[in-house]
Amino acid sequence: MKKLIVVLSALLAASMFMFSAAVSAGSGSYIIGDADGSGDITIGDVTYIQKVLAELVTDTDGSITKRGNVDGDELSISDATAVQMYIAGFRNDDNIGGTAEEQVTTQAATQPTTRSYELPFIPVRR
């Protein structure tokens, strides 16, 4: 019996290690439609999208908007509807369930202007 427990413990530890390695390997990507970041697309994702749109949840880092925006424009109720239809098995026009890479954007530091600026002359009619 002790051998069985040892073998099961070893298998459990090995499976946990393999799962964590798979998750960390894909840390630069996310699942399209997985608004809550759980790794699965569920009705909870639809609820999260709706809560952000109703301003019941603050999306401070933009991650819900990024993962929940399935059609590529801006987060809207259409995204929630598309995820619902995906869950129900009706359609998948927006690559829901696929993976997307994190977009790293950098902006050049702005420099103060050294040029003088004159306001334009606007004649006043009386």
Q: Which of 29-43, 47-61, 82-96 is predicted with the least confidence, judged by mean pLDDT? A: 82-96
Residue pair 100/35 in contact (Cβ under 8 Å)? The answer is: no
Tell me: pLDDT of 37 over 60. yes
Q: What is the DSSP letter of 56?
A: S
Q: For 65-117, how does the pLDDT look when each residue is reduced to its tens digit (9 = 90+)?
A: 999 999 888 999 999 999 999 999 987 777 888 888 876 555 555 666 666 66
Tell me: pLDDT of 23 over 50. no
Give the C-alpha separation, 107 to 99, whole Å: 25
Sorted by where each begins, the domain ranges of the chain are 34-101
